[in-house]
A and B are shown apart, each in its own frame.
Chain A
Amino acid sequence: MKRNYLKYTLIVLLGMGVISCKKSFLQTTPKGEFLESNYYQTPAQAFSGLVAAYDPLVTETGGLDETYINPLGPLNSASDDAYAGGGGSTDTPDWQVWNNYTVNPAQGPQAGFWKVNFLGVSRTNTILSKLGNVPGLDPATAKRYTGEALFLRAHYLFDLVRLFKNIPLITTPLDPSTIYNQPQAAPTAVYAQIESDLTTAIADLPATVVTTENGRVTGGAAVALLGKVYLYEQKWAQAATQLAIVNGTTPGGVTPTYNYQLQASFAAIFNPNNKFNSEAILEIPHTSTQNYSWNNWDSFKGNVYVQMTGPRDFSDATYAGGWGFNPITTQLHDAMQNANDPRYGYTILNLDSLSALEHKTYTPSYQNTGYFSLKYAPLTKFKSATGTVELNYPNDYIEIRLADTYLMEAEALVQSGGNAGRALALLTAVRARVGLAPVPATLANIYNERRFELALEGHRWFDLVRWGQAATTLAFKGFKAGTNELLPIPLNELSNTKLVQNPGYAK
Chain B
Amino acid sequence: MRKTITFLLVILLSGISVAFAQNVTVKGKVSDNTGLALPGVTVKVKGSQAGTVTDVNGNFSINSPQNGTLSFSYVGYAAKDVPIANQSVINVVLDYNNTGLDEVIVVGYGTQKKAVVTGAIATVSSADMQDQQITRIDDALEGRAAGVFVTQSSGSPGAGPSIAIRGSNSLTNNSPLFVIDGVIWDNGGYDLVNPNDVESINVLKDASAAIYGSRASNGVILITTKKGKLGAPKLTYDFYYGSQDVTKKLQLANATQYATLRNEAVTNDGGTAPFANPAAFGVGTNWQDVIFNTAPIQSHTLAVSGASETSSYYSSLGYLDQKGIVSPNASDYKRMNIKVNTTFTPKKWIVFGENFTYAYTRSTTFFNTNSEFGGPLSDAINIDPITPVLATNISSLPNAAIYNSESAFLVRNAAGIPYGISNYVANEITNPLAAEANQNGNYNWSHNLVGDVYLQIEPIKGLKFKTEIAGKQAFYGTESFTPLFYLNSNTSNLVNTTQNRSSNQNLEWNWDNTVSYTKTIGLHNFTILAGTSAEEESGRSASISYIGEPAFTSQTASFNYALPAASRIGSGGDSQPLTRASTFGRVEYNYDEKYLFTGIVRRDGSSKFGSDRVYGTFPSASLGWVATREKFLSGNNFVDYLKVRASYGVLGNELALTAFQFTPIVGSAGGGSYVINGQLVTGFGPNTLANPLLQWERTKSADIGFDAIIFKNISVTLDFYDKKTNDLLIQQPLPAYAGLSAAPYANAGDIENKGVELELGYNKKISKDFGFGVNGNISYNNNKVLGIGILPFQDFGSFQSSAYSLQRNMPGEPQNEFFGFKTEGVFHSQAEINAYTDAAGNLIQPNAKPGDLKFADISGTGPLGPKDRTFLGNPIPNWIYGVNAHANYKQFDISLFGQGVWGNKIFQGYRRLDLSTANYPIEALNAWTPSNPNSNYPRLTVADPNGNFKNPSDFYLQSGAYFRIKTLQLGWTLPTSMANKWDVNKLRVYVSSNNLATITKYNGYDPEVAGGIERGVYPQARTLMVGLDITL
A contacts, CB < 8 Å to B: 3, 7-8, 10-11, 13-15, 17-23, 25-37, 39, 45, 48-59, 64-65, 67, 87-94, 102, 105-107, 111, 114-115, 118-123, 125-127, 167-168, 170, 174, 176, 179-180, 182, 211-216, 275, 285-287, 289-291, 299, 301, 312-313, 315, 321, 323, 360-361, 363, 383, 385-387, 389, 490-497, 499, 506-507
Task: Check if B684 sits within 8 Å of A49, measured CB to CB.
Answer: yes
Shortest beta-carbon distance from B550 to chain A in Å: 15
Chain B residue, CB-CB nearest to A40 = B666
Task: Check if A313 sits within 8 Å of B405, measured CB to CB.
Answer: yes
Q: Which of B459, B578, B676 contacts A216 (CB 8 A)?
A: B676
Q: Which of B531, B574, B672, B685 contacts A299 (CB 8 A)?
A: B672
Task: Check if A30 sits within 8 Å of B737, measured CB to CB.
Answer: no
Bound Cα distance from A126 to B482, whole angstroms:
42
Bound Cα distance from A17 to B735, whole angstroms:
49
Task: Check if A492 sits within 8 Å of B915, measured CB to CB.
Answer: no
Task: Check if A67 sits within 8 Å of B801, measured CB to CB.
Answer: yes
Bound Cα distance from A92 to B427, whole angstroms:
11
B665 interfacial contact with A, CB 8 Å: yes
B566 interfacial contact with A, CB 8 Å: yes
Task: Check if A490 sits within 8 Å of B490, measured CB to CB.
Answer: no
Task: Check if A111 sits within 8 Å of B803, measured CB to CB.
Answer: yes
Q: Which of A11, A64, A119, A493 contacts B741 (CB 8 A)?
A: A119
- Contacts between chains A and B (CB distance < 8 A), count: 318
B467 interfacial contact with A, CB 8 Å: yes
Task: Check if B672 sits within 8 Å of A34, measured CB to CB.
Answer: no
Bound Cα distance from A27 to B577, whole angstroms:
9
State whether A180 and B682 are in contact (beta carbons under 8 Å apart), knowing that A14-B465, A301-B673 are contacts in the complex: no
State whether A87 and B671 are in contact (beta carbons under 8 Å apart), knowing that A52-B683, A119-B741, A213-B677 are contacts in the complex: no
Bound Cα distance from A87 to B605, whole angstroms:
54
Query: CB-CB < 8 A to A91: which residues of B?
Result: 427, 914-915
State whether A55 and B614 are in contact (beta carbons under 8 Å apart), knowing that A26-B581, A64-B736, A121-B739 are contacts in the complex: no
Chain A residue, CB-CB nearest to B614 = A26
- 28 CB contacts below 8 A, A to B, read A7-B459, A18-B531, A21-B581, A25-B534, A29-B577, A34-B665, A36-B664, A36-B686, A39-B666, A48-B682, A87-B427, A88-B914, A90-B942, A93-B914, A118-B736, A118-B738, A118-B739, A119-B740, A127-B685, A167-B737, A168-B737, A211-B677, A299-B673, A363-B402, A385-B496, A386-B566, A497-B735, A506-B863
B283 interfacial contact with A, CB 8 Å: no
State whether A126 and B675 are in contact (beta carbons under 8 Å apart), knowing that A30-B576, A32-B667, A361-B401 are contacts in the complex: no
B734 interfacial contact with A, CB 8 Å: yes
B864 interfacial contact with A, CB 8 Å: yes
Task: Check if A58 sits within 8 Å of B674, measured CB to CB.
Answer: yes
State whether A213 and B675 are in contact (beta carbons under 8 Å apart), knowing that A17-B513, A18-B531 are contacts in the complex: no
B contacts, CB < 8 Å to A: 347, 349, 399, 401-402, 405, 426-427, 455, 457, 459, 465-467, 489-490, 494-496, 511, 513, 515, 530-532, 534, 547-548, 566-567, 569, 573-581, 583, 605-607, 611, 614, 659-660, 663-667, 670-678, 680-686, 689-691, 733-741, 744, 790-793, 795, 798, 801-804, 859, 861, 863-867, 913-917, 942-945
Shortest beta-carbon distance from A130 to chain B in Å: 10
Task: Check if B495 sits within 8 Å of A383, measured CB to CB.
Answer: yes
5 closest A-B pairs by CB: A122-B739, A55-B672, A52-B683, A506-B865, A51-B683
Task: Check if A105 sits within 8 Å of B803, measured CB to CB.
Answer: yes
Chain A residue, CB-CB nearest to B457 = A10
Bound Cα distance from A289 to B566, whole angstroms:
10
Shortest beta-carbon distance from A319 to chain B in Å: 14
Shortest beta-carbon distance from A364 to chain B in Å: 11
Query: CB-CB < 8 A to B798: which residues of A?
Result: 65
Bound Cα distance from A180 to B733, whole angstroms:
10
Query: CB-CB < 8 A to B677: which residues of A?
Result: 211-215
Q: Which of A55, A125, A180, A493 has the most CB of B within 10 A?
A: A55
Task: Check if B666 sits within 8 Å of A35, measured CB to CB.
Answer: yes
Q: Which of A64, A126, A213, A275 contacts B685 (CB 8 A)?
A: A126
Chain B residue, CB-CB nearest to A174 = B738
Q: Which of A34, A90, A179 contacts B734 (CB 8 A)?
A: A179
Q: Which of A52, A167, A216 contacts B671 (CB 8 A)?
A: A52
Task: Check if A49 sits within 8 Å of B942, measured CB to CB.
Answer: no
Bound Cα distance from A7 to B347, whole angstroms:
11
Chain A residue, CB-CB nearest to B427 = A87
Task: Check if B803 sits within 8 Å of A215, measured CB to CB.
Answer: no
Bound Cα distance from A15 to B467, whole angstroms:
9
Task: Check if A21 sits within 8 Å of B737, measured CB to CB.
Answer: no
Chain B residue, CB-CB nearest to A184 = B737
Q: Which of B672, B793, B795, B804 has the most CB of A within 10 A?
A: B672
Q: Which of A88, A115, A492 contacts B916 (CB 8 A)?
A: A88
With contacts A30-B667, A33-B666 known, what are 7 further pairs, Cβ within 8 A? Answer: A45-B684, A48-B683, A211-B677, A289-B678, A323-B489, A506-B864, A507-B867
Query: CB-CB < 8 A to B943: which residues of A?
Result: 89
Query: CB-CB < 8 A to A31: which residues of B?
Result: 574-577
Chain B residue, CB-CB nearest to A110 = B803
Task: Check if A176 sits within 8 Å of B689, measured CB to CB.
Answer: yes
Query: CB-CB < 8 A to A111: which residues of B?
Result: 736, 803
Task: Check if A21 sits within 8 Å of B685, measured CB to CB.
Answer: no
Shortest beta-carbon distance from A217 to chain B in Å: 11
Query: CB-CB < 8 A to A50: which residues of B?
Result: 683
Query: CB-CB < 8 A to A216: which residues of B?
Result: 676
State whether A21 and B534 are in contact (beta carbons under 8 Å apart), knowing that A28-B579, A118-B736 are contacts in the complex: yes
State whether A120 and B739 are in contact (beta carbons under 8 Å apart), knowing that A106-B802, A495-B795 are contacts in the complex: yes
Shortest beta-carbon distance from B1014 to chain A in Å: 20
Query: CB-CB < 8 A to B459: which residues of A?
Result: 7-8, 11
State whether A321 and B489 are in contact (beta carbons under 8 Å apart), knowing that A28-B578, A119-B739 are contacts in the complex: yes
Task: Check if B680 sits within 8 Å of A493, measured CB to CB.
Answer: no
Task: Check if A492 sits within 8 Å of B790, measured CB to CB.
Answer: no
Task: Check if B515 sits within 8 Å of A18, measured CB to CB.
Answer: yes
Task: Check if B866 sits within 8 Å of A491, measured CB to CB.
Answer: yes
